[in-house]
Amino acid sequence: MKREQAIRINDQLVIAHEAMRKARIAIAELGKKERLELDRPLYDLLLELEWQVMLPLYEQFRDLMKLELREELPAPSSELTWSDVRLPRDATEAALDDIIMSALTSQWQKVAKLIAVAMEGCEKLKLAIAPEMIGARLRFLSHADRIEGIGDLRRWGHSEVRLKDEPISARPAG
């Protein structure tokens, strides 16, 4: 993408972002039933805009990110559990685990960063996997003691994961 294209796209994304924020403020003034019906889908849409569209653009063109927007980006989180996940027909647990494990290292990584890397792997394989599914799988793998996690893995920006340390006896000699 050329810089001029990125600027045009960014201008429209900022307008859309601000409109959604204003809509959430307006929704907050509604009754409880209407708030519950409208705010969560809009909030989820706002997170998708920020983490799936804006963040990749800003990773390529960092200077386009407005300071006030950087401070506003909420750290995404998800309460989705693995038992509630329904994978698309073309995806398997094994394929998702392969993608996740290939993104993990022995070094601690923010869950948000790992999810972004795993999303790229899913996109390359044309698997329609949502970030929340990857987050749920990471929590499952951590609880199953297949990977290590620290912090509340539901809060992607405030937790980290890594490959499990191999016991010394399991390491090859030499």
Percent of the chain, pLDDT > 90?
A: 34
Domain boundaries, the chain: 3-72, 82-169
Looking at the predicted structure, is the pLDDT value of residue 73 above 70?
A: no
**CA–CA separation, 24 vs 4, rounded Å?**
31
Percent of the chain, pLDDT > 70?
A: 89
Reference 21, options 74, 96, 88, 67; nearest CA is 74
Number of CB atoms found within 10 A of residue 136's CB: 21
- pLDDT tens digits, 130-152: 889 999 999 999 999 999 999 88
Sheet holding 160-163, edge to edge: 109-110, 160-163, 147-150
- pTM summary value: 0.56
Which tokens go with 109? 């990584």
Element (H, E) at 38: helix 32-48
Q: What three-state secondary structure class fits 15?
A: helix
**CA–CA separation, 136 vs 132, rounded Å?**
6
Reference 135, options 91, 120, 152; nearest CA is 152
Dihedral sign (CA 93, 94, 99, 104): positive
DSSP-assigned letter for residue 64: G
> Into which CATH architecture does domain 82-169 fall?
Orthogonal Bundle (1.10)
**CA–CA separation, 162 vs 25, rounded Å?**
38
- pLDDT tens digits, 14-31: 899 889 888 887 787 777
